[in-house]
Amino acid sequence: MQSAECKMNNVRVMAARATHFALCTLQSALCIVVCLSADDTVAEDAPPKLVGSASCATAACHGGLAGHKFVGSEFPIWSARDPHSRAYSVLENDLSRQMAALLNLPKPAHESAVCLNCHSPATSVESKLTSISGRTPLAGVDCEQCHGPAERWLTEHVRSDWKLRSAADKQRRGYRDLTDVLTRANACADCHVGGPGRDVNHDLIAAGHPRLFFELSTFHANWPKHWPAEVDAKRHPAVEKGSVFEAKLWTVGQTVAAQRSLELLSQRAELAKVTPARWPELAEWNCFACHHDLRSASWWQSKDAAKRPRGSFAWNAWPYAMLDPLARRVVGSENSIPQSELTKLRSRFESPVLPADAISREAIAIAQGLRSAAERFNRNDAAKDVLSAKSLAAMRLAFVTDDGLNLVNRDWDSATQLFLSLNALQHAIVASTQTDPEQDRQIQAVLDSMNETLNFQPGLRSPRDFAAQPIERLQADLQRLRKLLSPP
């Protein structure tokens, strides 16, 4: 029997198929024109232009006639299942209309660069026309947003020697080599953390935008993919057995998210020089520094107070929560996570008066260190120490002992990052070594219990209520994990 949801999906797939057949007939001819008109020489002065992903959707290319589950079917998968294909249409929904009104945008959300920059390939209505084919790109976060503007690689990538070319050569043409985990993490961070021209700040959040909280392993796991997962695993073989792909996703993802958040912080501080009224940026603090009930016995007033003066503000913990625990487990001279600088920057956020200049400088310096840390985690020789199953298991044990207790005592953001990290490490360990299925089942049961306690909410996606109880439940779960993981 078919469930209602299943039927709905079929309808959506059929609609996508109909759209794609229409596109095929319409675009096949255009595809050829585009291919022929694209310039073969690599001019490096001007940034490469968008071609418009409609040309990827033709039957012979990625439009789904190859008769394979993935290969050649990337467009219908994206169109029917990937949330990115809806990213433009949500700009026309009620929430977006409300946001545009509250933000006093001169144009509707779906015509405003502040929204389009992350939700569509068109940075403005006018720029839609700058794609070299002169056609409107596919709506939503489309192929070229991740794989790179195709002006200089469209004709090249269908040639038989394309797969043999070096990543550097492809990159010169504007193609992003997403098989590389570091490149992939940075591609997602462009929109899921933010950057120049892309900022989900407190203005947008207060107008109704969901708060952005990115964790690469989690988002990657929840994202319907248009290529087979085995390919990722095969490209990142582990020393002993299996794959270090999952381990890289977590270590590289955590470091890149923190690095890019610091770069965004610096960008916000630099903006303060031009428009002082925009500083300090409220989204840099823990949301509950301001938004919490006037009562005692809350998570907010928890044991973390031992380190933070009473009545002080707290820095937004989300992007940085796992850096200290991670740094402690990564030994050796190449550990470039600048812990003491990070502690110093964190303490600056205890006061509501933030020196923009100093903060911008310090944030960039730490980001630089994190960039080298991410590069190191991305190298295959990192597998020997950081990414090996043995090292991951040691890290996990620390995370359910003191490191973990500190995090669950601190705040929801830190506790949730801990939970997501334990989840990611569990997957990474299972992927890279032989494990006991019964023990894995028990670990999963505790992780599910943590998930339930942490209770993501739509929109704000953190529980509104900060009673003492969740901390105790999480502490008990950590203790159960400790028992399961400790050597007898």
User: Rule CB under 6 A: which residues touch ligand HEC?
Assistant: 53, 56, 62, 74-75, 78, 83-84, 86-87, 90-91, 93, 95-96, 99, 103, 109, 114-115, 117-119, 141-143, 145-147, 178-179, 184, 187-188, 190-192, 194, 198-200, 202, 204-206, 209-212, 219-220, 222-223, 226-227, 282-283, 285, 287, 289-291, 460
CB neighbour class for 207 (10 Å; exposed up to 12, middle 13-18, buried from 19)? middle
Instruction: Provide the minimum distance between the beta carbon of 207 and ligand HEC in the complex, in angstroms, as a whole number.
Output: 7
Give yes or no for a contact between 57 and 75, defined as CB atoms under 8 angstroms apart.
Answer: yes
Instruction: Provide the minimum distance between the beta carbon of 392 and ligand HEC in the complex, in angstroms, as a whole number.
Output: 21
Q: In whole angstroms, give the CA distance from residue 454 to residue 480.
A: 17
In terms of CB distance, is 68 or 295 closer to ligand HEC?
Answer: 68
Instruction: Provide the minimum distance between the beta carbon of 66 and ligand HEC in the complex, in angstroms, as a whole number.
Output: 10
> Cβ–Cβ contacts within 10 Å for residue 230, how many?
9
462 contacts: CB under 8 Å, gap ≥ 6: 287, 412, 413, 416, 456
Buried b (16+ CB within 10 A) or exposed e, 103-127: bebeeebbbbbbbbbbbbbbbeeee
Tell me the Ramachandran region of residue 310: left when phi exceeds 0, alpha when psi lies from -120 to 50, beta otherwise: beta
- Closest alpha carbon to 399 in 429, 439, 369, 357: 429
Instruction: Provide the minimum distance between the beta carbon of 265 and ligand HEC in the complex, in angstroms, as a whole number.
Output: 13
Instruction: Provide the minimum distance between the beta carbon of 336 and ligand HEC in the complex, in angstroms, as a whole number.
Output: 24
In terms of CB distance, is 50 or 326 closer to ligand HEC?
Answer: 50
Instruction: Provide the minimum distance between the beta carbon of 476 and ligand HEC in the complex, in angstroms, as a whole number.
Output: 28
- Closest alpha carbon to 134 in 47, 224, 49: 49
Instruction: Provide the minimum distance between the beta carbon of 291 and ligand HEC in the complex, in angstroms, as a whole number.
Output: 5
In terms of CB distance, is 75 or 412 closer to ligand HEC?
Answer: 75
In terms of CB distance, is 190 or 324 closer to ligand HEC?
Answer: 190
Q: In whole angstroms, give the CA distance from residue 390 to residue 393.
A: 5
Give yes or no for a contact between 466 and 300, defined as CB atoms under 8 angstroms apart.
Answer: yes
In terms of CB distance, is 144 or 477 closer to ligand HEC?
Answer: 144
In terms of CB distance, is 146 or 365 closer to ligand HEC?
Answer: 146
Q: In whole angstroms, give the CA distance from residue 322 to residue 370.
A: 13
Residue for token pair 């609609």: 15
Q: In whole angstroms, give the CA distance from residue 254 to residue 181.
A: 12
Instruction: Provide the minimum distance between the beta carbon of 211 and ligand HEC in the complex, in angstroms, as a whole number.
Output: 4
In terms of CB distance, is 90 or 393 closer to ligand HEC?
Answer: 90
Give yes or no for a contact between 216 and 108, defined as CB atoms under 8 angstroms apart.
Answer: no
Instruction: Provide the minimum distance between the beta carbon of 251 and ligand HEC in the complex, in angstroms, as a whole number.
Output: 16
Tokens representing 48 are 């490469």
Angle ∠(233,235,238) on CA atoms, nearest 5 = 65
In terms of CB distance, is 232 or 403 closer to ligand HEC?
Answer: 232
43 contacts: CB under 8 Å, gap ≥ 6: 152
Q: In whole angstroms, give the CA distance from residue 486 to residue 350.
A: 37
> Cβ–Cβ contacts within 10 Å for residue 234, how many?
11
Instruction: Provide the minimum distance between the beta carbon of 180 and ligand HEC in the complex, in angstroms, as a whole number.
Output: 9
In terms of CB distance, is 212 or 474 closer to ligand HEC?
Answer: 212
Tokens representing 180 are 């590389």
Instruction: Provide the minimum distance between the beta carbon of 266 and ligand HEC in the complex, in angstroms, as a whole number.
Output: 16
How many Cα atoms occupy the beta-carbon half-sphere of 181 within 13 Å? Answer: 29
Instruction: Provide the minimum distance between the beta carbon of 143 and ligand HEC in the complex, in angstroms, as a whole number.
Output: 3
In terms of CB distance, is 29 or 206 closer to ligand HEC?
Answer: 206
Distances (CA, A) of 127 to 120, 369, 460, 478: 11, 36, 32, 52
Q: How many residues would you count in the chain? A: 488
In terms of CB distance, is 121 or 404 closer to ligand HEC?
Answer: 121
In terms of CB distance, is 21 or 219 closer to ligand HEC?
Answer: 219
